[in-house]
Amino acid sequence: MMVPLVQSSRAERRLARPVPQGNSDACGVEPHAHRQRGPARERAGARPAYFSLTAFVVAAALTGCAGLEPATPPDYAGPTVNVADQALQASGQLLHVFEMTQVDGRRLASTSMATVRANQGRGFSVSPVALTNELPLRPARVRLQAATQYGAPILAMTNPTCRTEGEVVFTPEAGKAYRVAGRIAAEACEVWIEDVATKQAVTDKVSGKGTKS
């Protein structure tokens, strides 16, 4: 269900503090869609590609979120598991974002878009917003993304960037909590889902070119 969470770079649900519920900050996705933390990936390597991603995110955040769906279908009444995005503060102007953008073809509200909405009017500065999703307790095909996200599109034109995305099969287990994890480095841009308690990957890794490319 949709519940805003507090600012943090960690994904664990026990860090959450209750704040007013609603759908305005994350594009109006209904129950089981996400939880939100905070006030927050680009095709690998190419800076113009990152600029395109940032511009798309800005446009989507400002014009609405038509076509977005909840991570858990409205007609599903069974158990769910929590999968949290991460938006890690690399600097005052840069985040490293690891997020889930689709589940079984359903397009989700994204951490990238929520970040843009929360940081409007802050110039080049950016603070992280990370969403979490409740997924049905059954195998799913999920699309993951890792990307650099700057406070303004122009910064991506003159600084290192990367973006990689792809689908993985995810089979959640009851009673566990998960998060989208990854690595953004000069040599590689990677993303996967891991068990919060064990910090072990539970999906294949999606890999792409790093910031050096």
Residue 205 in this model has a pLDDT that exceeds 90: yes
Specify the higher pLDDT residue, 39 or 95.
95
Write down the pTM of the prediction: 0.74
Domain assignment of residue 12, yes or no:
no
Residue 19 lies in a domain: no
What domain range includes position 163? 3-7+24-208
- Give the pLDDT of residue 7: 38
What are the two backbone dihedrals, phi and then psi, of residue 87, each rounded to the nearest 5 degrees? -130, 105
pLDDT of 200 strictly over 90: yes
Residue 213 inside a domain? The answer is no
Rounded Cα distance between 89 and 69, Å, is 28
Task: Tell whether 141 is covered by a domain.
Answer: yes
pLDDT band at residue 65 using 50, 70 and 90 as cut-offs: low
Q: Tokens 């500065």 correspond to what residue?
A: 125
* Residue ranges in 29-187 assigned as alpha helix (H): 47-63, 111-118
Residue 55 confidence class, pLDDT cut points 50, 70, 90:
very low
Q: Are strands 35-37 and 206-208 parallel, antiparallel or unpaired?
A: unpaired
105 vs 6, residue with greater confidence: 105
Indicate the number of domains in the chain: 1
Q: Are 193 and 179 in contact (CB under 8 A)?
A: yes
Report how far residue 57's alpha carbon sits from residue 152's, in angstroms, rounded to the nearest whole number: 11
Q: pLDDT, tens digit, for every residue of 142-175?
A: 999 999 999 998 999 999 999 999 999 999 999 9
Domain annotation covers residue 198: yes
Within-domain flag for 75: yes
* pLDDT tens track for 124-133: 999 999 999 9
Does the residue 16 lie in any domain? no
